Amino acid sequence: MNMTTTVEKPDNKETKVLIIEDEAQITRLIELELKYEGYEVVTATDGVEGLKSIREGEPDLVLLDCMLPNLSGEEVCQQVRDDSDNVPIIMITAKDSIEDRVKGLDFGADDYLVKPFATEELLARIRAVLRRKPKEQAGTLSYHDLWLDQFNRVARRGEEVLELRSKEFSLLRVFMMNPEKYLTREFLFNKVWGYDFIGESNVIEVYIRYLRSKLKEKTLGKLIHTKRGEGYMLRKPDLK
Ligand code: CA
C-alpha cells in the first residue's frame, strides 16, 4: 500500500519569468526558488538590459527591482507601458514607504513587494498576478462594449468589427489604455503621431470626429466626451 501523499505542483513550465535585479545574490535566490517551482527563468542585471529583454524575450511576468543601474525600475516600467505592453510586472524594492508604492503602481506595475520578503509571499504574488492576467488575454483591451486586440489590430464595439484606419486604431487604443481620464490633445498627439505637438494643428479634432462616427455614437451611445481645456475622455454613455 502506498501511503505517501503527493502535493501536485502547478505546471509552470510554459511560464517565463524575467528577473531584473542588480544584486547577484538576490537574483540567484529567486532564480533557484522559481526554477524549483517549475518556472522558466531569465535574468537581467540593469534597466537597459532588462528593457531589451522584455521587448525581445516576451516574458510572461517581470520581477523588477526599483534601484537599478542605467535605468531605474520605475523608468523601465513606464517605458514598457508606453510600448502598450501589458506584461504583468511586480516591483521589488527596499524602500518601504507608501509614496514609493503608489509611484510604482502609477507607472503601471501590477503589484509591489518590499525587501526582505518570504519566498512563499513572492510565489503567492506571482500566482495572483498571473491569474489576474491570463495569457490568452495578453494584448487585448476591453472597456464597456469595446474590445481591442493590439497584436492583430482588430477592434469591436459589441459584436461589430470596426473598420478603423491605422491612426484611428492607435487613437482608440490610447483611449482604452487610459479610460475615464481626460487626455489632452498634446498627450494624444504624442502617443499616436509620436512627434512634438504642433499647437495649432486640428488633426486631433478631425480624428476624434472620424472615430466617433466609426464608433456609431449616434446610435450606440456616446463614448468620447469632450471638456474644454481638459481634453477628451473615454467613458461609458451612462456614467456621469
Ligand atoms: Ca538594486
Q: What is the pLDDT of residues 9-58, one digit of tens each?
A: 556 767 899 999 999 999 999 999 999 999 999 999 999 999 999 998 88
Q: Which of 48, 122, 211, 220 is nearest to 112 (CA)?
A: 122
Say whether pTM exceeds 0.95.
no
Give the pLDDT of residue 6.
46
- Each as own residue / partner, the long-range contacts of residues 50-59 (CB below 8 Å, 24 or more positions apart, any chain) are 50/18, 50/20, 50/76, 51/76, 51/79, 51/80, 53/18, 53/20, 54/18, 54/80, 54/85, 54/87, 55/83, 55/85, 57/16, 57/18, 58/16, 58/87, 59/16, 59/17, 59/18, 59/87
pLDDT at 161: 95
Out of 3.40.50.2300, 3.40.640.10, 3.40.50.1820, 3.40.50.1000, which CATH number does the structure's domain 16-132 have?
A: 3.40.50.2300
What are the sequence ranges of the domains in the chain?
16-132, 140-234
Rg of the chain's alpha carbons, rounded to an integer?
A: 21
Gap from CA of 142 to ligand 1 centroid (Å): 35
139 CA to centre of ligand 1 in angstroms: 29
**Separation of CA 121 and ligand 1 centre (Å):** 19
From the CA of 44, how far away is ligand 1's center (Å)?
12
pLDDT of residue 191: 83
The C-alpha atoms of residue 127 and residue 100 are separated, in whole angstroms, by 23
The fold for domain 140-234 equals Arc Repressor Mutant, subunit A (1.10.10)
In this structure, what C-alpha cell is assigned to residue 206? 478631425
- What is the structure's pLDDT at 85? 78
Q: Which residues pair with 155 in a beta bridge?
A: 148
Contact yes or no for 210/166 (Cβ under 8 A): no
Distance 37 CA to ligand 1 centre (A): 24
96: CA distance to ligand 1 center in Å?
14
User: Could you read off the pLDDT of 178-235 as tens digits, one per residue?
Assistant: 889 999 988 898 888 876 666 667 889 999 999 999 999 999 999 999 999 899 999 9
Q: Tell me what pLDDT residue 96 has.
A: 64
